[in-house]
Amino acid sequence: MSSGGGDLDAARTVLAIDSATDSVVTGIVQLTGETVADVRALAERVVTDHRRHAELLTTLIAECLAESGISRDALAAVVVGCGPGPFTGLRVGMATGAAFADALGLPAYGVCSLDALALDTTPPAGRPDVLVVTDARRREVYWALYRDGARVRGPEVTAPAAVADELSPVFTAGEVGAASGSASHLELVGWTGAPPQATVPSARGLVAAAAPAIIAGEIPEPLVPLYLRRPDAVEQKARKLGAAR
């Protein structure tokens, strides 16, 4: 990697993709260091429509490239949110990100989508914990707890009442200073603080989660989706087999 200013900036221009929520998120991000403060979004698109993930994503990527003035050849890496998220939507973003990286010979870094939300959340002084909760459907939530920017619990998929029981002592102690994710699902787990600072993973948060690995030039692991439970199709097949027996 060159240490020259222009070459360095180009080498750290990253495409970010996430489809772990009902929103399709993509963006072109400039990376100059390993912290969230060193990440700057050049262009970003967020469209909420869980039925059109596959239809929207390629178009949104093209729009971000055009707006940022960055060519595909100038990209250094692709960062993909790996969930947790529903099976169908999540695999659209991951398949698109993997195919894009493969076509251009770029490394594809997978990150936990909840980590990206946490990195877009700033707790007040003296209350270092951040709670992230998103909709897992089936009357469950995906959630994780962070302290000083590091994940200390999760990601998990759990019924909201069970999360509320588990987090009640933490809420009582006043350790959780901020939250992000789905406002309605945060309420279900007992969060009574300020509204969520971020509701979906941002392109900036996604790249910030992968920044240390990108800067270090690490060879990424294969992209692995965080479903946290088996896909519906598998479960339905298993039920049919059980009934037949």
Domain locations along the chain = 5-112+201-229, 121-188
The yes-or-no answer to whether 5-112+201-229 and 121-188 have a common fold is: yes
Residue 74's identity, in one-letter code, is A
Write down the CATH superfamily of domain 5-112+201-229.
ATPase, nucleotide binding domain (3.30.420.40)
227 has a pLDDT exceeding 50: yes
Q: What pLDDT, on a 0 to 100 scale, did the predictor assign at position 231?
A: 52
Structure-token pair, residue 147 = 């302290």
Give the burial string for 222-235 (b: 16+ CB within 10 Å, else e): ebebbbbeeeeeee
Which distant-in-sequence residues (6+ apart) come within 8 Å of 181 by Cβ? 114, 117, 131, 132, 133, 134, 143, 196, 198, 199
pLDDT tens-digit map of 164-192: 999 999 999 999 999 999 999 999 999 99
Mean pLDDT of 120-141: 95
Instruction: Say yes or no: domain 121-188 is CATH 3.30.420.
Output: yes
CA gap 95, 241 in Å, rounded:
29
Cα torsion through 25, 199, 82, 43, rounded to 10: 30
Q: What pLDDT, on a 0 to 100 scale, did the predictor assign at position 37?
A: 86
Lowest mean per-residue pLDDT among 6-20, 102-116, 143-157, 158-172: 6-20
Structure-token pair, residue 131 = 């709670």
Band of pLDDT at residue 51, cut at 50, 70 and 90 = confident
Q: What pLDDT, on a 0 to 100 scale, did the predictor assign at position 3?
A: 34
